[in-house]
Structure 1
Amino acid sequence: MAHSVRFWGIFAALCLLAFVSALDVSIIATALPTITDDIGGASQYIWIANSFVVASCVVQPLFGQLADLLGRRLPLIVSTALFTLGSGIGGGAHNPAMLIAGRTVQGVGAGGMYVLLDIVCADLVPLRERGKYLGLMFSWAGLASALGPVVGGVLAEANWRWIFYLNIPICTVALAVVVLAMRTKRPDPSETTTRGLDYTGMALFIPSILSLLVGLVRGGTEHPWSSWRTIVPLVLGIIGWIVFHIQQTFTKTPSVPPRLFTNRTSATAFFLTLVSSFIVQAQLYFLPIYFQAVKGTTVLRSGTSFLPFAIGTLTFAVLGGSLLSILGEYIPIHAGSFALSALACGLFTLLDDETSTAVWTVLQLLASAGVGLIMPVLLPAIMAALPESDVATSTAAYSFTRTFGYVWGVTIASVIFNAVIDDNAYRISDPGLRAEVSGAGAYAFASRAHGIIRDAGGREETGWDEVADVYTRALNVVWWVSLGVSVVGMLAVVFERRLELRKELETEYGIEGTSGAVEPKSGVEANVQVSSGQVEGPVEGGKIQGR
């Protein structure tokens, strides 16, 4: 299908925003020591790093509802403007509180962007074609996540404030395209007056998820996992989240409609989203540690060594989306992706300080195939059994699930990593090095490996071989757990049903002036639901197809 210049302009803006929002998740990691040294905040480093993720996570269902109530254009403009504003505040910060505030505003904007980018992409092309365009968009987000530590390290050496200021011109260009080129249809005003925001639901959801994330972020770092300061917010968050889902079954305007999870294909695809996010985040978080702590490279060099994973993820995401568009089949891609992830994680356990460049390059490419192929194929599978009227709510739920999976990927993998480090610290004969890696200090200490080895004149002189052995043991357990999670994902695929992906675009929020958009159809073709609110299958020719 040939698309107009306006279509490609809007899509390019989406890719830019996907890149810059993903970049800000990982770019702060390598620059954080430099930033806290300049403005203070060594004791608040955990919130400088995580306020962005927490803020972006809790607002996503809200933006899904806003997209239905106000149309796509205005929420996208507002979220991009908030992200840009937060970048300016962060770049101009002169104390930790101001920096955390800037990161929080950025996170709220990014949360809206995560949801709206996928929704707008869904409005541009029919379901059968979405994988191809989502693959292109996700590939830029994956590239940004992988390049973040490298870019952060380079900018930290020059001027760390440009880590934030860099976002402003990029967002300005993308925002100008959205304002000038994106003209979207809105629902009938008489209909929107009867649909309000789920205020009660959001009043339950936001503090519950915030409490849960606070417990996850602080656990094992600021406070032990056994501390009441960790347990209480976790318990309150879980209880609040359960109450939220109960409330959603009774409200007339749910922000996360229960019908999204009442068919096995969509429910399974949501679970696969959580699982795949766990796997990719564990790899993004701990592969650089292998290069820094085991191989003894610099932080910047570890980022360069990580490029095969970054470039591979970009390439395979595009390939996965293209395969979906050509074949119209998502189940084989899901199963194949998890099989590749399981194989890659198993082979990662062979990595040590003597592994050759060729070997770790090939293994990274294998891992990137596992996580890249599935990236653009999950959302179409979720939507296959749902009507187009559920695009916004299902996308918001998908985006939240993906982000929440990232949090769990870091949290669970970190708990395992730190526990194995502590259990094996006795193998390090140097008491100073042993103290540095113990007590959850191993992750941050890895970045100092190259300097310690260089200053001591070699690995043997400083006893780093013993340290590297402990790191290798801890990483191996992380890889084994990731392998297990991959196998669970592969087995879960059997619960999905093969559904035909719609080839026609039917949306009341189409983008005017693009060849991908069509006028909304009326009646059953525009919004097909059974009386219970559960969709029994994909919509085709005005009929509900069986699952």
Structure 2
Amino acid sequence: MATEKTPANQREIQWRFWSIFAALCLLSLIASIDVSIVTTALPTITRAIGGELQYVWIANSYPLASTVPQPLYAQVSNIVGRRNPLLVAVSLFALGSGIAGGATNPGMLIAGRVVQGLGTGGIYVLSAIVISDLVPLRQRSQYVSIMFLMATVGGAVGPLVGGAFAERDWRWVFYMNVPASGVALVVIFFALKENSSGDSIRNVLARVDLLGNAILIPSAVAILLGAVLGGVVYPWSSYHIIVPLVLGALGWALFHVHQAFCKEPSVPPHLFRNRTTVSTYGMSFVAYMLTQVSSYFLPVYFMAVANASPIRAGVDCLIYSVVVPVSAVFAGGFVTYSGIYRPLFWSGFALQAVGYGLLSTLDGTYSQARSFGFEALAACGTGIVIPALSPAILSPLAESDVASANGVYSFLRSFAFVWGITIASVIFNGQFKTHGGQISDEAVRAKLVDGAAYTFASGGYISQLPQITSEQVMGVYAKALAAVWQASIAFSCLGFLLGLVVKHVPLRKTLETNEESGDSSATKQTEDV
């Protein structure tokens, strides 16, 4: 609860609160830029230092490393506080950026991306936890939606920034993170205050669920490796893919068994004992998975079917990148002022289903108005759902569960990013192979099947083909993309059904926090309401 403050103290607390929030927004921006920035810069980078054979590892080491440590970060922050783990995470991100920027060989670049990812995982989960510490649950969604806005902007501008740096000096793709991280470090160091636990390092290590994380981290890595390499490096039927997926699934099951008997688990089993939290975790996975499907396959439509250049396709996809965060800000405000979140799930997933259904009707006859309108509907549905997820997850839980619950939420979000690309790619490649017989030119057909169609969507390859062949290829692309959008309809309907299971729990208007800046003016205003 907020205590009485003098005007001077209120001004200091307000300054600290907004400084911390600005630093978290900056971190969300640069971390999200780094996810997508290499998509346009990577060919230049690999030509400069070699690494064509390590292309998959260079691209995927970052998301892999950022996903697996998130539950560990959450538990450690419960034991030692949020400030020091966040400082460590930002420092790792800056260090990894410096290593990657100075890379002289593929191994050094991959190592830098791994260190970057380990820092980003902490930034993701700890940013959500710090906001939860500083803002009451009723008001939290509007701040989360603003941070999501920054992350979406970062993901949208990343390829453009990467392309610009690639033309001049690719090393600044990574070096630019260092000064931005330095600013965030200084702000967090001076503005974020908390009461120290006073535990020794030995006591802290004794409380950390080391065995649980030793089971979870390699299990998650095995599953993610199978998802990333399947159909790209090895066929899905290969033992190289089946073995890690099976071992990872068994390890994940063993982890949850261990958590049931662990004295201080990193993922407490009671988080999954109420239908609202469990259902919302499921909706979170679906919602974030669909954002990746759209982000990766809308450009394919514009390049392969609408015959747009990569830059023009990026501009066309800005509709999605703009509508999602704008609708999220409005949805976050709705949750803050009404305290209601369930209708956002129903309306959001319904809009997604309609949008993806309309996208599935697009064929080789390109219409800018139709494609932009359908894209905007799906994006609006996504933006409506996302700000309501965190409040629904936390509403039935105690404040003491904030860190672990946010850790699971953040982990599932990153996990969904990988699986969104994987599931959609499997469907796309399979359907392209099924309909590939419609391409009369055997050489062209052989070049595009078996996973190569995604790569050849850009670069002007299709437009250089003879007209009849080009039309046939565009028709096959349209059919394969239609199957991706139809699968997205099914996942949207699953999200809608999960939303029906959610029970309304009133959102708390007050806050008890260990953070000294938790008694922010924003918090006090909410309490007064």
Partners of 1:466 and 1:306 in 2: CA distance? 24
Aligned residue in 1 for 2:498: 492
Match of 1:521 in 2: none
User: Given the alignment, which residue of 333, 339, 346 partners 2:344?
Assistant: 333
Query: What is the deviation of 1:156?
Result: 2.0
5 Å-filtered alignment, 1:338-487, equals 338-448=349-459, 450=460, 453=463, 456=464, 460-461=466-467, 463-487=469-493
Aligned counterpart for 1:236 among listed residues 236, 247, 251: 247
C-alpha distance in structure 2 between counterparts of 1:252 and 1:393, whole Å: 14
Q: Aligned-pair distance for 1:354?
A: 3.1
Q: Distance in 1 between matches of 2:349 and 2:137?
A: 23
- Partner residue of 1:213 out of 207, 224, 242: 224
Q: Which moved more, 1:225-234 or 1:364-373?
A: 364-373
- Which residue of 1 is the match for residue 508 of structure 2? 502
Contact 2:277 2:392 in 1 (8 A): yes
1:51 equivalenced with 2:61 (yes/no): yes
How far residue 133 of structure 1 moved from its aligned partner, in angstroms, is 0.4
For residues 161-208 of structure 1, give each alpha carbon's deviation from its aligned partner in whole angstroms, at most 9, with x where no partner exists: 221112122222222211121112344759994871001101100111
Q: Which has the higher helix share?
A: 2
Q: TM-score, normalised by structure 2?
A: 0.93
Which residue of 298, 313, 336 maps to 1:302?
313
CA distance in 1, matches of 2:85, 2:444: 50
Residue number in structure 2 paired with 1:94 = 104
Q: Residue 358 of structure 1: CA displacement?
A: 2.4
Any idea what the Cα deviations from partners look like across 1:14-33, whole Å, max 9, x if unmatched? Answer: 11101111111112112222
Amino acid at match of 2:513: T
SS in 2 for 1:146: helix
Q: Which runs of 5+ in 1 are unaligned?
A: 519-547
What does 1:193-208 align with in structure 2 at a 5 Å threshold? 193=203, 196-208=207-219
Distance 1:369 1:452 in 2: 31
Q: Which amino acid aligns with 1:485?
A: F
SS at structure 1 position matched to 2:521:
coil
Q: Which moved more, 1:258-267 or 1:191-200?
A: 191-200
Q: Relative to structure 1, is the Cα distance of residues 433 and 153 closer, same or farther in structure 2, using a 3 angstrom cutoff?
A: farther
Whether 1:42 aligns to 2:48 is no
User: How far apart, CA to CA, are the structure 2 residues paired with 1:374 and 1:150?
Assistant: 27
Q: Distance in 2 between matches of 1:342 and 1:128?
A: 28
Please tell me the root mean square deviation across aligned C-alpha atoms, in Å: 2.0
SS at match of 2:261: coil
1:154-165 matches, cutoff 5 A: 154-165=164-175
Match of 2:116 in 1: 106
Partner of 1:126: 136
Deviation at 1:338, TM superposition (A): 0.5
Question: Post-superposition shift, 1:374?
Answer: 1.6
- Quickly say closer, same or farther: Cα 1:99–1:191, change in 2 above 3 A: closer
Q: What amino acid is aligned across from residue 375 of structure 2 in structure 1?
A: Q
Residue aligning to 1:263: 274
Does the Cα contact within 8 Å between 1:153 and 1:300 map onto a contact in 2? no
Are the equivalent residues in 2 in contact too, given 1:261–1:267 (CA < 8 A)? yes
Given candidates 327, 331, 347, the residue that maps to 1:320 is 331
Does the CA-based 8 Å contact 2:510-2:523 persist in structure 1? Answer: no
Q: How big is each residue's C-alpha offset from its partner over 1:102-140, in whole Å with a ceiling of 9 and x where there is no partner?
A: 111111000000000100111111000000100000111
Residue 184 of structure 1 is matched in structure 2 by 194
Q: What residue in structure 2 maps to residue 71 of structure 1?
A: 81
Q: Which of these residues, 173, 183, 193, is aligned with residue 173 of structure 1?
A: 183
Change (3 A) 1:509 1:4: closer
CA displacement at 1:356 relative to structure 2: 2.5
Instruction: Give a deviation string over 1:346-381, Cα, whole Å, max 9, x none.
Output: 011122343322222222221211111122210111
Work out the number of aligned pairs and report it: 513
Q: Whole-Å Cα distance in 2 between the matches of residues 173 and 370 of structure 1?
A: 35
How far, CA to CA, are the matches of 2:517 and 2:197 in structure 1? 13
Q: Judge which range, 346-355 or 254-263, deviates more.
A: 346-355
